[in-house]
Structure 1
């Protein structure tokens, strides 16, 4: 690593990856607390943890533009797709297999359809998940209307792929001014959904119906292409202790309480719009401006960065079990906290083992076969 850079290679910012890891941990904690909220976002303790997905989209736009904007002269769209599939698809298989393996432990009053599901249905859902083919509400097996019922968070990868395809087939060719128009228009649509919509939040995107698709596309379009534009405009802020500052800002934003209830839900919508449109780009700019090549904070960022995607894409089968146990078993808070800590530890262990024993070796093998070189 060069002494003046906090990234190990083209397209890989250590501190930005670390921030993705911080957001992934917050997602797991959010889902653990969600088991106690009774489906009411106003009772959720880590209230805005779902906005980590919007932060992921912004990060993805930034790093993809940095990695690929200047490489298209010698690269086809299919070559780009192969690189993205190599990066993302191996762990999608693990998440699906883990969801299928743990399905027998997830029976609960929350998931009424599981009582009658057959092995053939599970195999069919698993195959569709491997191929990233979403399921309609009538066809899914859990009863939560998830497009990937074995591993709910996979829905965000569906929209990640859509944004990647839009970038590759033409939006990457836009000038900064034209990209600014796309970002402004998608930002206006996001604000309208948050402020004028009935809920005042960005929750949703995992159902294959008109509302779910509208929310999913609205959630991905602004942050992803805002990330692209931010990179092109040189969005970097150099601060001493940038990783720590950016992490604290991110955790505070995701952990903030609900703002406004009932007829005042638009207040919460304004807060989320301010985070996604203003604060999250600021956090990414601070992370991109971190210049240290080594040191404790960079080593921590590297660990969180390596863990981020495996943790996000494998933790939810455990959450299904934990949520069903909380709802049906009604444990006291102390017992619930103890078991929840165990779930978090298990999720981190599974993610790290998957990374080292499967994901990195498989990606090296695929990169060697597809591109003639090994890239972890």
Structure 2
């Protein structure tokens, strides 16, 4: 069975979401990042979850009816996520070693001393893709928490929709149950404590999976105005509702947006805009952008602090950030984003791409058997 062709407009949205997460973490004082939309950019992770649920359900909802198909599905998901995750984990292990050596030689201790948060327990949790499930405080490559919970949510999806043969409407039941838990324990906020990360993922992922069942029902003529309105509402809602209890309303809006964009007709200006090759390329390398940006951010910070002797100050949330004027902060932000895109191009080419069809030594056989 051949998988359905990639929806390029959605690929671009994935790229924009990844870029928003990068800007959210690059706190250099630029107006590019110091605005309400980017301050709430962590909500783009929930957009990733919705989009993943939609795409996975669209391609696999009717292909997971046996243990062998489930094992094949989970294996492919593993090889899609794990190689780059392992690479970045080892890079951060090296960073912890450098921090330790620096602390021993200079006596200067960082805000997070070497191997305190990023300790042996955190390393093992990361190694087994459990960091977003078992850790109360995240270490090493912190954004990878979402990769871990998504991997196990894939398994929940395969078991419920595949082996148990539950109808797609059960996706809405699971999403609703997760929403009730988030409302009860987190007041509806999505920037949850790590212990609730898997609940956050289940909520958004299964909303996306349920939305896939609506994909063919939406009249295509209605898709363009709906998509334009939904995208506008997404920006306004993230800007205005982020950081509060109304965050829980965002994933349903994301689901509506994904369905509408997926149904855009070829001759619409919005679809042509979203399928601009540069935007699609950004979506193609978005997983690398997401997983490598913390490495680039760390390197830029060290160059500025110890190379250019830029002073720091303590932000209201307790983080130590660089003190830069607006113009220089913008240049640094743009340079850091450029660095992320260069690194992401390389990691996609040499780490992600060889594993897209499974373990590289058997990639052709896997592709032929499962294509």
TM range (shorter): 0.7 to 0.9
**Cα distance in 2 between the residues matched to 1:308 and 1:246:** 22
- The answer as to whether partners of 2:76 and 2:357 remain within 8 angstroms in 1 is no
**Cα distance in 2 between the residues matched to 1:28 and 1:340:** 10
- The answer as to whether partners of 1:95 and 1:314 remain within 8 angstroms in 2 is yes
- The answer as to whether partners of 2:88 and 2:291 remain within 8 angstroms in 1 is yes
Change (3 A) 1:236 1:322: farther
Once the two structures are superposed, residues 318-341 of structure 1 have per-residue CA deviations (whole angstroms, 9 ceiling, x without a partner) of 334556755365333333332222
Change (3 A) 1:131 1:71: same
Aligned to 1:21: 15
**Cα distance in 2 between the residues matched to 1:304 and 1:247:** 18
**Alpha-carbon distance, 1:133 to partner:** 4.1
What is the CA RMSD across the aligned residues, in angstroms? 3.8
TM-score, with structure 1 as normaliser: 0.74
**Cα distance in 2 between the residues matched to 1:295 and 1:137:** 43
**Cα distance in 1 between the residues matched to 2:89 and 2:208:** 29
Alignment of 1:174-193 (within 5 A): 174-193=166-185
**Alpha-carbon distance, 1:64 to partner:** 0.8
Aligned to 1:286: 260
Change (3 A) 1:290 1:184: same
The number of aligned residues is 332
Aligned to 1:51: 43
- The answer as to whether partners of 2:175 and 2:203 remain within 8 angstroms in 1 is yes
Counterpart selection for 2:159 from 169, 186, 192: 169
TM-score, with structure 2 as normaliser: 0.75
Alignment of 1:210-289 (within 5 A): 212-213=194-195, 215-234=196-215, 236=218, 238=220, 239-240=223-224, 249-254=233-238, 256-257=239-240, 268-270=244-246, 272-277=247-252, 279-289=253-263
Structure 1: unaligned runs, 5 residues or longer: 1-7, 139-144, 206-211, 260-264
**Cα distance in 1 between the residues matched to 2:120 and 2:339:** 25
Change (3 A) 1:328 1:84: closer
Structure 2: unaligned runs, 5 residues or longer: 306-311, 313-319
**Cα distance in 1 between the residues matched to 2:225 and 2:342:** 28
**Alpha-carbon distance, 1:31 to partner:** 0.8
Aligned to 2:113: 113
Aligned to 2:76: 83
